[in-house]
């Protein structure tokens, strides 16, 4: 993987990029919005405008309900919804606009047996490693069965951003837990998700899979898709997009993404005008 290229958002030549891509994919938490919170008004306006110039996809470990709260409720009817593709639970589900509503076009749900095995392994290893905190120390559900994905959130799904960021800044806890669970579930994919979470999905399902699916949906090569995300380190859940061949752009926060969107939109607007 030595030839995998990751581009920092502030070093990208957006004038050149505009001619290299036919679509843009985005991570959600810490990329388009703070964790589990709605997009800002500025981001919603900029993101909606971008959809009028190029197909845009959002790929996140979060469930569809979070997409509705964090994205759809904020952009309203300002976006070109025919140019917006929603891929929750790490691309195991795909939603597209059918002219009147958002329709689930596919869902790769885990079997009941696989879901039970994932929940058992996550619970057991989290307790063994001291990561199963008392109920009064977490915010919301720590284990979620999302059908196509089982997610363990050490601090609970509703934990404040500051607590999440402080819990495991070097990702040692999460990576250790993911490795232990992966050893139990060789037929499934186990990976470090958000800042405090571990996701379990069907084998071979990650954001590289999502890029290949998006490529087929849009009839463009993966190499003609840019992907913007904050977890572009080799153990991060955005890194597989680069491995798949997408033009990978690293950001550190939604403010970086907002500026990247504005720069790209400015370039694409000129192209459209011509």
As annotated, the binding site includes 27, 29, 146, 197, 199, 230
Options 27, 114, 206, 238, the catalytic residue: 27
Residue keyed to tokens 């009147």: 100
Spatial CA neighbour of 58 closest among 27, 97, 21 = 27
Angle at 53 between CA 226 and CA 268, to 5 degrees: 75
Q: How many residues does the chain have?
A: 274
Could you give the dihedral angle defined by the CA atoms of residues 58, 63, 65 and 67, in that order, rounded to the nearest 10 degrees? -10
Cα end-to-end span (Å), the chain: 39
Annotated binding site for Mg(2+): which residue ranges?
27, 29, 230
Options 3, 29, 238, 256, the catalytic residue: 29
Active site residue 29: yes
Residues whose CB falls within 8 Å of the CB of residue 159, separated by 6 or more in sequence, listed in order:
138, 139, 140, 153, 196
- Alpha helices by DSSP H, listed for 56-160, are 64-67, 73-75, 112-128
Annotated binding site for alpha-D-mannose 1-phosphate: which residue ranges?
146, 197, 199
Active site residue 27: yes
- CB-side exposure of 264: number of CA atoms within 13 Å? 34
- Give whole-number Cα distances, 184 to 119, 121, 125, 200, 203, in Å: 11, 7, 10, 11, 13
Q: Report the catalytic residues.
A: 27, 29
């Amino acid at each position: 993987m030595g030839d995998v290229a990751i581009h920092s958002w502030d070093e990208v030549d957006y004038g050149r990029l505009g001619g290299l891509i036919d679509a843009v994919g985005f991570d959600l938490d810490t990329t388009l919005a703070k964790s589990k919170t709605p997009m800002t008004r500025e981001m919603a306006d900029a993101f909606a405008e971008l959809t009028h110039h190029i197909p845009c996809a959002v790929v996140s470990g979060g469930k569809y309900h979070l997409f509705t709260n964090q994205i759809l409720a904020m952009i309203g009817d300002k976006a070109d919804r025919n140019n917006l593709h929603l891929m929750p639970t790490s691309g195991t589900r795909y939603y597209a606009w059918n002219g009147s509503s958002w329709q689930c076009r596919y869902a790769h749900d885990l079997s009941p047996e696989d879901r039970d095995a994932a929940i058992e392994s996550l619970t057991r290893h989290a307790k063994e490693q001291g990561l199963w905190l008392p109920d009064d120390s977490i915010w919301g559900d720590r284990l979620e069965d999302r059908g196509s994905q089982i997610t363990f959130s050490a601090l609970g799904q509703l934990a404040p951003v500051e607590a999440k960021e402080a819990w495991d800044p070097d990702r040692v806890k999460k990576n250790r837990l993911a490795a232990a669970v992966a050893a139990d579930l060789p037929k499934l994919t186990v990976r470090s998700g958000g800042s405090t979470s571990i996701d379990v999905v069907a084998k071979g399902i990650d954001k590289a899979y999502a890029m290949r699916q998006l490529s087929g949906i849009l009839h463009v090569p993966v190499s003609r898709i840019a992907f913007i995300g904050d977890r572009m380190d080799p153990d991060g859940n955005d890194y597989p997009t680069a491995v798949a061949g997408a033009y990978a752009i690293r950001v550190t926060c939604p403010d970086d993404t907002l500026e990247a969107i504005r720069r790209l939109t400015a370039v694409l607007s000129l192209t459209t005008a011509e």
